[in-house]
Amino acid sequence: MAMHSLMFGWEYPPRHLGGLGVACQGLVRGLLHHGVRVTLILPTESETDDTDVRFPTDAFAEQLHVNSLLQPYASFESYEAHIRKVPRNKQEMYGQDLGQAIANYTELSVQMTEDLHPTVVHCHDWMTYEAGRKAAQYHHVPLVTHIHATELDRTNYSPNDYIYEQERKGFTLADKIIAVSNYTKNILMTHYAVSAEKILVVHNGSADLPPSPAFLQSKLEMKKKHPLVLFLGRMVTQKGAVQFLQMAALVHAIRPEVQFVLAGDGHMFGELILLSCEYGLQDNVMFAGKVGLCEANHLYEQADCFVMPSLSEPFGLVALEAIAHGTPVILSRQSGAAEVIDDCFRVDFWDTDKMADCVLTVLREDALAHQLRSYAPRTLQKLTWQRQAGIVQSLYTDLTQC
């Protein structure tokens, strides 16, 4: 019988805000390449009262959508703001708070799976853990918990107690945990008391093709009057946009012609604009807001340097996207991507002086920048989603044969 993965997620392209949805799609496509059937359960807000919202199956996976207000990267505060916009007669159906919304999603989504016959249940991040646990129990199959980011990452180690407990419970009850990096594995061992033997590290993959030699040569030859340094990520504490602006101020003092672009949206957006003015960067910083795939690709291609200064980054798919466009990267040591991209600068997120020195070096040393670009293919070739999904398929096989 063919392997059938019943997968619970909470974002998936084209409806996604961050890297989790992109990673889920890459993994699903990779599993399908290996002959694994995938059924993906997702929360989706609907204008109807139906609890079972079925969308056309895309070319890559069977999708079942549960009518729910759960949003990517939701917090109790953001959910409360969202539910207030919903008519009162529908608020109870969705859930008055985030905990109730997750309970409703869990009950409905597990009901939707009763006629399926999965061989394994695979759930992504904390909002799906209870649904995954109940589905695995109902179908008497192994449970795989996939951790893309912990509450500690998102909150700079000031977690919401409820969310932290849901994570801890999910890790305890799983048969196996997939962590997206050794960095995340260490967090699970240190702060959630998970044994090393229970964790399998599967780094995220890349769906991008390596840059061609001709493209790399064209970037080398492209001389700009105003070099461009790029940040792309959500405007939240975790992603280090404040540190990026601190670095930008240091670079600006030496190279006032350098331009900086911050692409992304989030609750700190207005605060960061004010901060850039305080640093005297109003003429050198552009806030692009949330960008789509085409806009992001254009920014990567135009950038002379990409900086990912995250305070705590389980992986950081944007780093792979940047090198796929021939852009040298400077990465926080507190990230998973720094484990797999050999040819880059690594700095501690708090060391903005070193970060600025790295940016200035990349902008000054054309030969070094070209060398960093030319190494991108070997990184991308060893991190394809087909290869990473093959590791997950092997895990499925091991669990179902026990």
Average pLDDT over residues 271-275: 98
**Which segment of 28-37, 46-55, 76-85, 223-232 scores lowest on mean pLDDT?**
46-55
- More confident: 378 or 142: 142
Residue 288 φ/ψ, nearest 5 degrees = -85, -10
241-254 and 269-278 helices, crossing angle to 10°: 20
CB 330 within 8 A of CB 355: yes
Name, of 52-56, 79-83, 117-121, the range with top average pLDDT. Answer: 117-121
pLDDT reading at 49 higher than 50:
no
pLDDT reading at 20 higher than 90:
no
What's the pLDDT tens digit per position in 299-338?
Answer: 999 999 999 999 999 999 999 999 999 999 999 999 999 9
pLDDT reading at 92 higher than 90:
no
Average pLDDT over residues 121-146: 97
All domains in the chain, ordered by first residue: 4-205+384-401 (3.40.50.2000), 213-381 (3.40.50.2000)
Whole-model pTM above 0.75? yes
* Pairing mode, strands 143-147 and 62-67: unpaired
Angle in degrees, CA 278, 312, 229, rounded to 5:
50
| pLDDT given for residue 98 in this prediction | 76
| pLDDT given for residue 36 in this prediction | 96
| pLDDT given for residue 219 in this prediction | 61
Average pLDDT over residues 128-133: 96
- More confident: 11 or 79: 11
| pLDDT given for residue 217 in this prediction | 64
Contacts 24+ apart (CB under 8 A), 331-335: 332/240, 332/308, 334/183, 334/310, 335/181, 335/183, 335/308, 335/310
Q: How many residues does the chain have?
A: 402
Encoded tokens for 270: 């207005």
| pLDDT given for residue 311 in this prediction | 98
pLDDT reading at 147 higher than 50:
yes
Encoded tokens for 255: 């190279």
Reported as type and span, the H/E element at residue 260 is: strand 259-263
What's the pLDDT tens digit per position in 340-368?
Answer: 999 999 999 999 999 999 999 999 999 99
Q: Give Cβ neighbours of residue 357 (< 8 Å, ≥ 6 apart).
A: none
Number of Cβ within a 10 Å radius of residue 159: 17
